[in-house]
Amino acid sequence: MLLIPMAQGIVALRQSDQLLQQGRLLQAAQLRLRAGKGLFWQSEDLIEQAGKIFLQAQQAQLSIESLRPLYVRHRLSYAGKLTLAQAYAQAGYVTMANQLRQELADSGYLPLILYPLLLESFQSTHQFLEARKTLEKLMMLQPHFPLWRYRYGLILLTTQPEEAKKILKEIVANDVTYKDGIEKLLDPLERSQSEDMGYQLLQAGRGLASIGEWTLAEEAFYRAVSIRPDYAEAWAYLGLAKFRNAFSDLTPNNSPNTETTSLIPDESADHPIGWLRDRSGLAEIRNALWLKPQSQVALVFETQYWLERGYPQIALKSATKAVKIYPKDEAVLENYAQVLAQNGALESAWQVFHEIFQITDQKTEAAKSLLRFDIQNEYQLWEEALPLARTLTYQNPGDVESLDLLAQVLFSLNYLERATEILAQALRLDPNYAPAHLHLGIIYLQNNRINDAIREFNHVIQIAPNTPIAYQAQRILVNYLP
């Protein structure tokens, strides 16, 4: 009697192998399960194989249904548990996926692969206590690997800024690789010299934001307002961080995402916290203005919010208010000029940029801002942008940003070969300067050098992950390349 199901199992297994070779994964997995019923001594192995094939076929739920009974009965191998964890993650059951990964890593199975996965998941979901515990395990496994200690220091900045400073300075003393980044990160804290924890956390958050760690920055700002609920600037920065995290992957035209954004808030509401039902950050920025109507940072952030969301007319209201209160503030004036440009008033915006250039002590930075305006709006490229860019590179021959701006002007004037030469010069000075790689990729795309363009865009994503320039490279890859 056993021979018939065994024979059927053998046939099903052969058919499954054939379908697998043909790429018909769903049917192959189903036949694997059928084979397991006849070949009972291989049943568990065949079920695990079926679960893995279901996962490859993007059928995470079927993979879970196949593997979970074995897991409950403690009959699933380590490799099978890893497959089940991947299926949970693919199906959106992040907590269950992390529980399995934690179990596997704690038992010694692929800890140097699984713990970093857990770390990224915990940090992205704001489970910072779990992230710290995971980093502690990684530091025990690799005590001389500076990355884990560096990441630990970053997380510690959100709760104990002074202790984090000690750890990060120790890293700099032993490894110059992190020197520039850590100095930039700690600069706001070093300047503050305040014992007020709310203020320290605000400065720690600003430092984290300066290196693109917006998730951690949001946590630091949140803790700052928890300690000091009346701290308007901390509320404004919290709103900015939430905005950066919620809308880090905007569409190319910055159109609103209806899944995460509610309607424009009711201006007549008594208190701003109820204005939005989402995590966009506007409610926190408006709360800052409710606490301190003349807050410079809150007005600037509100302007940036509406500008980047694609509502330049609304942005103009807060920008105009800010410039009336702070008529000589360079950041406010530049914000105002950007809003004017987005509203089509290019001549007025250009005049504001020139006003900034006249009053500032930072002439080089003001010239760069003016150049960016000219390039973005294709405004006075011959008359102003080209001679200004050449002057900048002459005055600052080793400055890759100036070279990149000159290349952008040349590209806009259709001097593609010369622009390519300038970008190559910039990259010889700094091979990891992401904007130069992005603009070189755009030139390659223009010249139909598709493989070269793809290489440059992928390099941008690799060297500057989770940054606006990386998202721009991703959009180009998705929208313009095969």
- DSSP letters of 65-131? HHHHHHHHTT---HHHHHHHHHHHHHHT-HHHHHHHHHHHHHTTSSHHHHHHHHHHHHHHTT-HHHH
SS3 state of residue 145: coil
Residue 76 within any structural domain of the chain:
no
Arithmetic mean of pLDDT, 384-396: 96
Q: Interhelix angle for 3-21 vs 25-38, to 10°?
A: 160
Overall average pLDDT of the 187-211 stretch: 91
Percent of residues, the chain, with pLDDT higher than 90: 79
Candidates 436, 423, 442; CA nearest to 464 is 436
Residues 426-445 have pLDDT tens digits of 999 999 999 999 999 999 99
Tokens of 251: 């569409």
Task: Write down the residue that tokens 């995470």 correspond to.
Answer: 60
Per the domain annotation, does 165 fall within a domain?
A: yes
pTM value?
0.79
pLDDT of 271 over the 90 cut? no
Please report, for residues 96, 118, 150, 178, 452, the alpha-carbon distance to residue 138 in angstroms, rounded to integers and kept in the order given.
Answer: 21, 11, 12, 19, 37
Give pLDDT, residue 471.
Answer: 86
The mean pLDDT value for 156-182 works out to 91
Domain presence at residue 166: yes
Contact 204, 164 (CB under 8 A): yes
Q: Is residue 151 part of a domain?
A: yes
Establish if 179 belongs to a structural domain: yes
Over range 139-160, report the average pLDDT. Answer: 95
What's the rounded mean pLDDT across residues 412-417? 96
- Token pair of 19, please? 């379908």
**Residue 164 belongs to some domain of the structure:** yes
Q: Is the per-residue pLDDT at 272 higher than 50? A: no
Which helix (H) or strand (E) covers residue 252, if one does? Answer: none
Helical ranges in 142-178 per DSSP H: 146-156, 161-174
Domain count within the chain: 1
Confidence check: pLDDT of 73 > 50? yes
Residue 87 forms part of a structural domain:
no
Question: What does the mean pLDDT of the chain come to?
Answer: 90
Q: With bands split at pLDDT 50, 70 and 90, how would you rate the model's confidence at 279?
A: low
Domain that includes residue 156, residue range: 145-228
Is there a domain that residue 46 lies in? no
